[in-house]
Structure 1
Amino acid sequence: MAETIQVAALDGSGSFDVYCATPAAKPTAAIIVIQEIFGVNAGIRQKADDWAALGYLALAPDMFWRFAPGLDLNPDIPEQMAEGFEIRTKFDIDKGIEDVEAVIRAARALLTGGKIGIVGFCLGGRVCFLTATRTDIDASVGFYGAGIDGMLGESHAIARPLLLHFAEQDHFIDADARAKIHAALDGNAHVTIEEYAGVDHGFADTFGKRRSDEAASLAEARTREFFAAHLA
C-alpha cells in the first residue's frame, strides 16, 4: 500500500510530502529513498514500492518542496532533463539534510523501533553521503553521488556502514573525482566502494534509456544484501 504523508520541517518553515510505501506485514526497518534532480517521479516511487515488497517501510521525501513542490520529470525527455538541471541550482544541501533528519525521526515514530537506512541517486547519492556524516542513520547507500569529492572533509564522521556505487564511464564524476573519493575513504572500514565498468551516470535508473540492466542488477543485489546485513 502506498500513500502520501506529511512531515514537518525541523526549522518550522512548513511541511513536505513523503511518498510512503508500506509492506504487507509489520515492518521492522525502514529505507528512505532520495530522488535525483527529477523529483519523486515514477522511477523513485517504484523503487520505494520495491523496498516495501521486500518488507521495509519505504519513504521517498520531496526534496525540492521548498521551491518546486511535486516535481515529477522524465529524464528521457530532453526538455524535462534540462528543467531538472535548472531547478537543482535552487537546492540547499544543508536544508536537504535537515529534511532527511525530519524523515528519519518520522520513520522511527512509524516503526516504533527498528533501524533506518537510506539510498539515493545522483543528487540523492550526495545527500546520502552527508546523511552518513551528519546523522545517526544506521546504513547508507549512494548511487553515483555527484559532488562527493568536494565534501570529503566530512568523511572523518562516517561511523556506520556506507556503500557507494560509481560508474566507470560517468561523465559527471570523472576518474580524478573517483580517485579522490577512494583516497579519502578506502581506509575507513565502514565504507565500501563499488565501480561498474562500461556504464555511465544513471545506470541504475528504474527504467528508461539510461538503465544498464547488468550493472544495475548487480548494484541492486549488493544494495539488498547490504541493507539485509545492516538493518536486521
Structure 2
Amino acid sequence: MGETIRIQVEGGEMSAYVARPAAAKAPAVVVLQEIFGVNAVMRDITDGLAEQGFLAICPDLFWRIEPGVDITDGTEAEWKKAFALMNAFDAGAGVKDIAATIARIRSDPGCNGRVGAVGFCLGGQLAWLTATRTDADAAVSYYGVGIEGLLDEGANLRKPVMLHVAEADGFVPPPAQAAIREGLAGQPLATIHTYPGRDHAFARVGGEHYHAADAALAGERSLAFLRAHLGSA
C-alpha cells in the first residue's frame, strides 16, 4: 500500500514510509517508531491511518545509527539490538529529523497543511518532544518512556498533546507516572488517559502485552483527537 520517499535532513538523507489516503488532500500524521525500527508493526499503523483518511508517514529515525532497521520483539537477539539502538539514539537529532519530516509532508500536494504526530515507546517520548519543539499541530504519545525527565519541556507546549499511560508499565513505573500527572496538572493542552492493569506496548498487535479492547479504546481516542485538531479530508 505504501511507498518509500527520501527526505533531506541535517547531515544527510533519510528514508520514510508513506501511505496515502483515498482523498486528494488530507491532514498528515507522522508515525514515530518503537525501538524496532520501521518494521511491519509501524508500517501497518501507517497504512491504518491512511485508511482512516490521513496522509501518513513513518521516518527511519535510526538512520544515523543504522539505516533500514526492521526487527521484531520476537527474539532475545532482536531485543538486545533494539536496546542498543535506543541507547545510541540522539533524541535531539531525532527531533530535528522529525521537524524535517513535518516540513516535507506539509509541502506534499496531498497534504492540507495540518500535520500531527503519533508515537509509541521511544516514539512516545519523541511525540512529547515533537509537541514541545516543533510546529506540529497535535501529538499523541503511547506509553512514552522518559517523559518524567522532560517535563520542563512543557513550558514550550503550544499545541495539544494526548498521552496514553499504561498503569502497569514496567518502563514507566508508578513514581514516573505520578510525576507526569503532577507536572501536567492544570495544563489545558495536555490530556492524559491511564489504562488500569495494562503493561508497556499494550497496543502493539502481536506483542506479549497486547490488549485488544484497550488498544481499540486508545485508538478511538487518538483518532478523535487527531480529527479534532487536524481536521479531515
Compute the TM-score of the two structures, normalised by the length of structure 2.
0.96
1:142 and 1:62 map into 2 onto residues whose CA distance is: 18
Query: Does the CA contact (< 8 Å) of 2:55 and 2:111 recur in 1?
Result: no
Deviates more, 1:19-28 or 1:218-227: 19-28
Is 1:198 the counterpart of 2:197? The answer is: yes
1:123 and 1:15 map into 2 onto residues whose CA distance is: 21
Which residue pairs with 2:4 in the alignment?
Answer: 4
Moved over 3 A (4+): none
Which residue pairs with 1:216 in the alignment?
Answer: 215
Is 1:160 the counterpart of 2:159? The answer is: yes
Relative to 1, partners in 2 of residues 1:92 and 1:103: Cα closer, same or farther, differing over 3 Å? same
Which residue pairs with 1:19 in the alignment?
Answer: 17
Query: Does the CA contact (< 8 Å) of 2:157 and 2:189 recur in 1?
Result: yes
2:23 and 2:74 map into 1 onto residues whose CA distance is: 35
Task: Indicate the SS of the match to 1:30.
Answer: strand
Task: Indicate the SS of the match to 1:114.
Answer: strand
Task: Indicate the SS of the match to 1:39.
Answer: coil
Deviation per CA, 1:116-172: give whole Å up to 9, x if none. Answer: 010000100000101111111100000011000001111111111100001000011
Query: Does the CA contact (< 8 Å) of 1:8 and 1:16 recur in 2?
Result: yes
| Percent of paired sites with the same residue | 42
Which residue pairs with 1:188 in the alignment?
Answer: 187
Q: Mark the runs of 5 or more structure 2 residues left unpaired by the alignment.
A: none
Which residue pairs with 2:143 in the alignment?
Answer: 144
Is 1:130 the counterpart of 2:129? The answer is: yes
Query: Does the CA contact (< 8 Å) of 2:25 and 2:112 recur in 1?
Result: no
2:29 maps to a residue whose letter is I
Deviates more, 1:206-215 or 1:51-60: 206-215
Identify which of 38, 41, 45 aligns with 1:40: 38
Q: Mark the runs of 5 or more structure 1 residues left unpaired by the alignment.
A: none
Deviation per CA, 1:20-40: give whole Å up to 9, x if none. Answer: 001122132000000011000
Which residue pairs with 1:169 in the alignment?
Answer: 168
1:164 and 1:226 map into 2 onto residues whose CA distance is: 11
Relative to 1, partners in 2 of residues 1:173 and 1:5: Cα closer, same or farther, differing over 3 Å? same
Shift of 1:112: 5.3
Query: Does the CA contact (< 8 Å) of 1:27 and 1:55 recur in 2?
Result: no
1:164 and 1:116 map into 2 onto residues whose CA distance is: 18
Query: Does the CA contact (< 8 Å) of 1:186 and 1:192 recur in 2?
Result: no
Task: Indicate the SS of the match to 2:38.
Answer: coil
Compute the TM-score of the two structures, normalised by the length of structure 1.
0.96
Shift of 1:206: 3.0
Deviation per CA, 1:57-110: give whole Å up to 9, x if none. Answer: 100000000111110111122221121011211100000000000000001110
Which residue pairs with 1:118 in the alignment?
Answer: 117
2:111 and 2:174 map into 1 onto residues whose CA distance is: 43
1:112 and 1:76 map into 2 onto residues whose CA distance is: 36
